[in-house]
Amino acid sequence: MTSAQRARGLMAAGDVRAQAAHWFTYLTSEKRAAHHTLIDYERDLSCFVEFLVDHLGGEATLKDLEALTVRDFRSFLANRRAQGLANRSTARTLSAIRSFFKFMERRKVLSNAALTTIRSPKIPHSIPKPLSPKAAKDVIAEAEVKEERDWVAARDVAILTLLYGCGLRVAEALNLNQTDTPLPKMLRFKGKGNKDRLVPTLPAASNAIAAYQALCPHGLSGDDPLFVGIRGKRLGQAQVQALMRTLRKRLGLPDTATPHALRHSFATHLLNAGGDLRTIQELLGHASLSTTQIYTEVDQARLLETYKKAHPRA
């Protein structure tokens, strides 16, 4: 979908849709936003302008956006609360709106000081739920035996090994192409803010990928995707999510055993083995150390739970 097509569906005046199209182009070409991020931002902006249709009595123009007051923005937040939407969702929507307004301000299209005074809703602090080392290994082992087609089993093992053994995000693993193999000793990824992130590759990951490529029936090369489905098209995140649902049911693992939980497990198990927080931050590609420090709370939470169970006066 093009930027113009994304903007065309907005319930806003033509001048707002035109700026939205420029914004989507900017997010795509300059910020290199991921596809799912673009979809989220499109949805967030759409929610906001649809609210303004009712709030203002018609489709908002650029002049209307510039004239919005603190009360208008607070009404939008109150409307979201009334719909029962989570604070995390509202915070992301507000972030998208701020990004759009800042973009227009940089282009000297409009300026709205009221938005800068609006605080994002508080987001409950959640602790990652990693798998135990045994459970993580069991997931990979189960993927190898559950599938009758050898090449599919080898593919699934390779993907899961990248998530747990290298701490990759699902999208990062699925975006790999044939030209990225054989894996170098260090994989380079472009993270948030266009910052490069280097990730060491384990022999287990390289070997798993080589085993998959040797069995894959599709004649793939060059810029073709590394991981493909039955029809030879690039594998999607939904298929990896479905794989983990199947595996956790077979192994009796909780619903928190998701593909991303393997990345959490990678970080937690490194920390437990004496890994340095700064190093783990770099491996995960976290912009802030405070994000990585959440993993120290996993151990604290587990320690407290053990104390409560074992101590006679707990």
- The CATH number of whichever domain residue 78 belongs to comes to 1.10.150.130
Q: Please identify which residue in the block is written with the tokens 């956790």.
A: 248
Residue 88, judged by CB atoms within 10 A of its CB (0-12, 13-18, 19+), counts as middle
Whole-structure pTM value? 0.57
One domain for residues 86 and 151 = no
Please, are residues 293 and 127 in contact by the beta-carbon 8 Å criterion?
A: no
Q: Which of 72, 64, 23 is nearest to 45 (CA)?
A: 23
Comparison of pLDDT for 123 and 147, the residue scoring more:
147
- Is the residue at 125 inside a domain? no
One domain for residues 156 and 96 = no
- What's the domain count of the chain? 2
Q: Torsions phi, psi of 196, nearest 5? A: -75, 145
Comparison of pLDDT for 155 and 311, the residue scoring more:
155
What single letter denotes the amino acid at residue 297?
Answer: E
**Last-in-domain residue among 210, 230, 259:** 259
Q: Name 228's bridge partners.
A: 234
Q: What do you get for the CA distance between the two ends of the chain, in Å?
A: 58
User: pLDDT tens-digit profile of 232-252?
Assistant: 999 999 999 999 999 999 999
- Is residue 165 very low, low, confident or very high in pLDDT (cuts 50, 70, 90)? confident
Percent pLDDT > 70 in the chain is: 83
Give the structural domain span for 184.
133-259
Query: What letter would DSSP give residue 225?
Result: B
One domain for residues 137 and 255 = yes
Q: Provide the pLDDT for residue 25.
A: 95
Three-state secondary structure call for residue 196: strand
Cis omega (within 30 of 0) for bond into 182: yes
One domain for residues 100 and 144 = no
Length of the chain: 314
Q: Which of 47, 21, 24 is nearest to 37 (CA)?
A: 24
Q: Provide the pLDDT for residue 281.
A: 62
Greatest CA separation for the chain: 69
Query: What letter would DSSP give residue 194?
Result: G
Angle between helices 133-146 and 259-272 (to 10 degrees): 140
Q: Provide the pLDDT for residue 5.
A: 85
Q: Name 199's bridge partners.
A: 187
Q: Provide the pLDDT for residue 13.
A: 95
- Is the residue at 289 inside a domain? no
Active centre residues (catalytic): 169, 192, 260, 263, 286, 295
> Would the pLDDT of 69 be above 90?
yes
* C-alpha to C-alpha distance for 304 and 292, rounded to whole angstroms: 20
- Is the residue at 300 inside a domain? no
- Is the residue at 278 inside a domain? no
> Would the pLDDT of 278 be above 70?
no
> Would the pLDDT of 113 be above 90?
yes
Q: Which of 148, 179, 176 is nearest to 162 (CA)?
A: 176
**Last-in-domain residue among 89, 117, 145:** 117
> Would the pLDDT of 219 be above 80?
yes
> Would the pLDDT of 40 be above 50?
yes
One domain for residues 86 and 173 = no
One domain for residues 45 and 142 = no
What single letter denotes the amino acid at residue 70?
Answer: V
Please, are residues 98 and 115 in contact by the beta-carbon 8 Å criterion?
A: yes
Q: Which of 177, 161, 188 is nearest to 283 (CA)?
A: 188
Please, are residues 110 and 67 in contact by the beta-carbon 8 Å criterion?
A: no
User: pLDDT tens-digit profile of 179-204?
Assistant: 988 888 888 876 655 667 777 888 89
Q: Which of 99, 98, 104 is nearest to 22 (CA)?
A: 104
**Last-in-domain residue among 117, 151, 186:** 117
CA angle 26, 60, 111 (to 5 degrees): 55
